[in-house]
Amino acid sequence: MVHVKRTDSRDVTTDPTVDLAVGELERIVRHQRRGMVRDRHRLPMSLAHLHTLMVLDADGAVPMNRLAEGLACSMPNATGIIDRMEERGLVERLRDELDRRLVLVRITEAGCSALGEFEMVRQHHMRRILAAMSPDDQHLCLDAFRRIRETAEQLDQPPPGAEA
């Protein structure tokens, strides 16, 4: 069991070990991102489409204006992105049942599959890194990754006694 020290996400204190660990993780992510850019021909879509699918996968069906905010782009730009993605069957537009003027955008099954293909490319890069390590180091990484996941899952849970 991992001990979780809850902190307010707006007030995370700095700890030299935490800062070093985050710095190392960022270097790994940057290395992985560079590898994916080099191998972009293996990606099933553009990075803008990938980002859009990630937002929709995380948030579910969202109004166009909220999607544009999540993508940090203008409504006309978001509309163009969604038009192209809809043509490829990656997303669909829906009318809100309560307010027919409101257009929602939702990821489709094809969009989920494309996101899965991206995850396979990302995992391929991580497998290459881990496969080059000694078995002992692989086990250390496995243990560390499990602890990170367990802690992240615990932080996602409301604190004991808090209202849901």
Catalogue all structural domains in the chain, each as residue range(s) with its CATH number: 29-153 (1.10.10.10)
Are 111 and 55 in contact, with CB atoms under 8 Å apart? no
Does an H or E element contain 104, and which? strand 103-107
Query: Which of helix, strand or coil describes residue 93?
Result: strand
Query: pLDDT tens per residue, the chain (164 residues)?
Result: 555 555 555 556 678 898 999 999 999 888 888 877 777 676 667 888 988 999 999 999 999 999 999 899 999 999 999 999 999 999 999 987 788 788 899 999 999 999 998 888 888 889 999 999 999 999 999 999 999 999 999 998 887 777 65
pTM for this model (two decimals): 0.71
Structure tokens at 20: 């070093």
pLDDT at site 117: 86
